[in-house]
Structure 1
């Protein structure tokens, strides 16, 4: 799978999702085609597990989350993991545990009374965690979080590559003065999306200008205020990468108030692919935050571990596909190149 991923220019997790035909995986047709062509060229044949040989056909996977109500992300992780587990006759149970201080005792009380195949621990925000000892006493996988010492395998979104992809899309559209309205300072997603933005600029020989980076907070108000501040500059941006779709909503409002047209006067790219993105006017080009796919990869990895496969303590990054809509304008030549 690593060879197929390298040849197709995608992550190993994407290869797994494509070749397993995971239902609900939001990958472009072009990405799926590249993976299948690479697999065929290398003569790779997917080894499928027989359902009857599942290591825990009569057991459960325990899914532990720190939050499910604020955003749709954790439920998407659960759904991806649940669908993958069901393919092998394994069911899942969920516990929502707020705070990590008494996590171990709550886990024991709520989940240890049943014979679990293993545990998946998912967080709403991508962040570092200190897993309680119970996670080291049974097969466990972390999703959207990681142990700094990498004592457990973890599945994370490819935020850095996503930030680079968003910025490169604007560059291919002919934009050269590209601003970033970033998320909350100190958050992993903000840090990595900024790094990807800077990498894309560097690769295109576009100097990094700190005046074009506005520190936001993920809310529409930050998108509005950031856009107003950026457009007051003597040399305002011709493209804006908003680090999430909610800030892009505010960005749209500000540009409309300023009398600027999207994408004719300025192009905008978001991140997360929230449902609202497709209904914005014009529909917002954005990147998928692949929580469903992350859940599927986590369940598959957990099944591998429970089945005796040594996977190491890998940190797997699942790529964030670009969803191209009408908020970025391409000329004929630029569009063909993209």
Structure 2
């Protein structure tokens, strides 16, 4: 005979966490007035005890959140999914992950699926919401949020991003402080706001240091390994190649590693390299990659909490949020040494 487990209550979770019942309720409702440490503890206990709220609590809700990507073929997508699911699971809400590849047919199919099952909210990643889609979601009364919007989002669509400009500036400043002056930059897709902001941060750091921005040192990729490799090949083939390369994604930075290896250049002895994202792979690289950390899982979690609040008719404090980036200095950057075959700039 199967014995069903007793249902875990909010009071039991509160007791286990050493907090009040209202504090657990605030976490379940996606409220922001809970400290990150307390929120993490409560969400972990909710997952461990498989807490599920009573179905009668929000009888009109679908208990599903849609997470829509243009492209899922990237480790950073997994980090965002992890952040979203940490919150939705704790709230007893399912997550539907979709990939539309910027194709109109895929978008139409996704919308058709959404109409048939309903949704508490939609989170788009690195894209813009086309006007027909925005209009239809508004008609269906489905809240919408964008993570890293491609362009300027509609005024009524909240967005979540990272401090990309300051991340680009900080990474470039780090290389300048190490004595580098020939600093290559591998940009992401130009249509994305985050890509343009990182490039602008790179330019701002050089200009503030009195270093001329050499357009020959700037190449464009698409955040993938292959384009980082191709861009680095071009940069290292220059008559006066860079002594350091800042790639605006970790995957492109790993492509730079491979281009350097094929030329017999050691990182960082002959070439310093910086990435952007701080994916788990960056710590496993050889040497471990210096990179700019953008809090991807935290961005996903905040997005999920926000759309759940919107689905309940709550008002959010601000429609535009940016989470702080941080430079993670590891072993792929080093001072510009003469014995490495490079002469420091005067």
Structure-2-length-normalised TM-score? 0.69
What do residues 84-109 of structure 1 show as CA deviations (whole Å, max 9, x unaligned)? 3445x342231525332344332111
Does the CA-based 8 Å contact 1:216-1:222 persist in structure 2? yes
Does the CA-based 8 Å contact 1:127-1:188 persist in structure 2? no
**Does 2:134 correspond to 1:132?**
yes
Larger RCO (CA under 8 A, 6+ residues apart): 1
Task: Name which of 42, 57, 77 aligns with 2:80.
Answer: 77
> The residue matched to 1:180 in structure 2 has which SS?
strand
**Does 2:121 correspond to 1:119?**
yes
Aligned counterpart, 1:242: 247
Does the CA-based 8 Å contact 2:122-2:142 persist in structure 1? no
Q: Cα RMSD over matched residues?
A: 3.4
Alignment of 1:151-190 (within 5 A): 151-190=156-195
Describe the shift of the 1:69–1:220 C-alpha distance in structure 2 as closer, same or farther (beyond 3 A): closer
Aligned counterpart, 2:112: 105
Aligned counterpart, 2:316: 311
**Does 2:35 correspond to 1:19?**
yes
Shift of 1:322: 2.4
What do residues 7-41 of structure 1 show as CA deviations (whole Å, max 9, x unaligned)? xxxxxxxxx699322549xxxxxxxxxxxxxxxxx
Does the CA-based 8 Å contact 1:63-1:78 persist in structure 2? no
- Highest CA radius of gyration, 1 or 2? 2
Aligned counterpart, 2:148: 144
Alignment partners' CA distance in 2, 1:139 and 1:129: 12
**Does 2:232 correspond to 1:230?**
no
Shift of 1:212: 1.1
| Pairs aligned (count) | 282
Describe the shift of the 1:57–1:206 C-alpha distance in structure 2 as closer, same or farther (beyond 3 A): farther
> The residue matched to 2:155 in structure 1 has which SS?
coil
Alignment partners' CA distance in 2, 1:164 and 1:155: 20
Shift of 1:323: 2.2
What do residues 95-140 of structure 1 show as CA deviations (whole Å, max 9, x unaligned)? 525332344332111x32xxx5x303233xx222224335331333
Alignment partners' CA distance in 2, 1:70 and 1:182: 19
The runs of 5 or more residues in structure 2 that have no matched partner are: 1-31, 42-51, 101-105, 337-346
Aligned counterpart, 1:92: 94
The worse-fitting range, judged by mean Cα deviation, of 270-279 and 319-328 is 270-279
Shift of 1:326: 0.1
Describe the shift of the 1:140–1:225 C-alpha distance in structure 2 as closer, same or farther (beyond 3 A): closer
Does the CA-based 8 Å contact 2:273-2:332 persist in structure 1? yes
Shift of 1:57: 6.2
Shift of 1:178: 1.1
Does the CA-based 8 Å contact 1:238-1:265 persist in structure 2? yes
Shift of 1:327: 0.4
Describe the shift of the 1:134–1:73 C-alpha distance in structure 2 as closer, same or farther (beyond 3 A): farther
Shift of 1:222: 3.3
Alignment partners' CA distance in 1, 2:328 and 2:159: 25
What do residues 237-295 of structure 1 show as CA deviations (whole Å, max 9, x unaligned)? 22110122222223222323333332223211012333332222211111234321111
Structure-1-length-normalised TM-score? 0.70
> The residue matched to 2:211 in structure 1 has which SS?
coil
Does the CA-based 8 Å contact 1:151-1:313 persist in structure 2? no
